[in-house]
Amino acid sequence: MNITREVIIDLWPAYTAGEASADTRALIEEFLQQDTEFARLLQEKVDEDLLTSTVPLLPPDREAQALNQTKRQLHGWDWSLILWLMSISFTAQAFGRIIADTSWDVSPRNFIIMVVIAAVFWCAYFIRRAWIRRKFYKKIMKPDA
């Protein structure tokens, strides 16, 4: 196999970052020993890049902030869980009203109120769930957006 300068240029970033495998490092070092002029050019380029590049200063907790932001974007706040629990709770209370108010002389107003509140929470839950799915699939389909 014929190793060219272009191949070495492609492998060079991994080599300088220390991420290349032992075989890749050996291949690059062997090639640079054979082509000393190219090795000198690469070394000058590395020295020039080190002198001109500046490393941005980041706060020490930047990684933790990025992780928390990613978690929030993936899962969102747990509003869906809260809405689901409230929906279940009010639905159970509405059915409890049916069982508790079995006599015909009690007004069905409390049952109707519980059903309306449960319906509102169920609607909010399904709207929130659809919104999260749409947001998630939009990011999957267009990850650069």
91/134 same-domain check: yes
Same domain, 38 and 15: yes
Q: In the chain, how many domains are there?
A: 2
Q: What is the pLDDT of residue 1?
A: 63
Q: Tell me: do 78 and 39 sit in the same domain.
A: no
Place of tokens 């200063």: 57
69 Cα distance to chain centroid = 8
Domain with 33, as residue range(s), is 5-52
Please indicate, yes or no, whether residues 72 and 135 belong to a single structural domain of this protein. yes
Q: Are residues 47 and 80 in the same domain?
A: no
| Residue pLDDT, tens place only, 64-107 | 888 887 777 776 567 788 888 999 999 999 888 888 777 777 77
Q: Is residue 122 part of a domain?
A: yes
Q: Do 76 and 113 lie in a common domain?
A: yes
Residue 60 located in a structural domain: no
Looking at the whole model, is its pTM more than 0.75?
no
Alpha carbon separation from 81 to 85, 109, 124, 126 (Å, rounded): 6, 28, 11, 11
Q: What confidence tens digit (pLDDT) does each residue in 11-68 have? A: 888 888 888 899 999 998 898 898 888 888 888 887 666 545 566 777 888 888 888 8
